[in-house]
Homo-oligomer: A and B are copies of this chain.
Amino acid sequence: MSTTTPTDDGCGLRERKKRETRRAINLAALDLVEEKGFASVTTDEIATRAGVSARTFFNYFPSKEAAVIGTTPEELEAYAASLEQATPGESPVDSLRRIIAEMLAPGTIDKQLRAKRRRILLGEPSLAPALVGNNIRIENALTAALERRLGVAPGASLEPRLTVAVALAAVRACIEHQQQGGSGRLERNIDQAFDSIAAGLR
């Protein structure tokens, strides 16, 4: 509990090792996917390359997909908090646009990992199902945060969930567009997509 662990954040050896292990698994997963494709990689392989046992792999990530994506629950919490207490003049969609940009290039990881993630994300079409599966948790967390920000009870209004779902769908569409050799650059397309959404789709 937090009452007994004075070094809950990131000081102790324990916490550091955990972060390193998580990173090693994520890195091994990304490398292996790049080498062999997502479907041909086994969790055993990832664990071995990361230097942990097969069982430990699942102590860090609940699924093979999650190990490739690599987002931590802490990051997700931070995004939700950021959405909940956004700057006053910012519309929900604008907040989401900003937060999603941060999700795609989080400042909490080094450049090496960031570049690798980006490369795999855009290069592996077979990762699309993994992406959407992951999005469900994100969507629920962000929806709850937006509901709190708007001061509505959970489920009272359709709007928060709709806004979050549409925003995430737009990003996913841009990623898949890239994966299939589509035109443009990712960030630019995302900007365009949010502009289209704000202007109204027909």
CA distance A189 to B162 in the complex (A): 10
Residues of B within 8 A of A198 (CB): 200-202
Residues in B with CB closer than 8 Å to A197 are 166, 197, 200-201
Verify B199–A200 contact, CB threshold 8 A.
yes
Query: What separation, in Å, do the CA atoms of A143 and B93 have in the docked complex?
Result: 24
Given A93-B201, A201-B198, are A161 and B176 also a contact pair (CB < 8 Å)? yes
CB of B132 within 8 A of CB of A162, answer: no
Contact B158 A162 (CB under 8 A): no
Interface of A is mostly: helix
CB 8 Å contact bits of A179-202 with B (1 = contact, 0 = none) = 011111000010011001111111
- Interface hit among A19-27, A107-115, A167-175: A167-175
Given contacts A92-B202, A200-B200, A201-B166, contact A189 B158 (CB under 8 A): yes
Q: Is A157 at the interface (CB under 8 A from chain B)?
A: yes
Residues of A within 8 A of B (CB): 91-94, 128-129, 132-133, 135-136, 154-159, 161-166, 168-170, 172-174, 176-177, 180-184, 189, 192-193, 196-202
**A–B complex contacts, Cβ < 8 Å, 24 sampled:** A92-B201, A93-B202, A128-B136, A129-B133, A129-B136, A132-B132, A132-B133, A132-B135, A132-B136, A155-B182, A157-B183, A158-B174, A158-B177, A158-B182, A158-B184, A161-B177, A161-B182, A162-B173, A164-B173, A165-B176, A166-B197, A168-B169, A197-B200, A198-B201
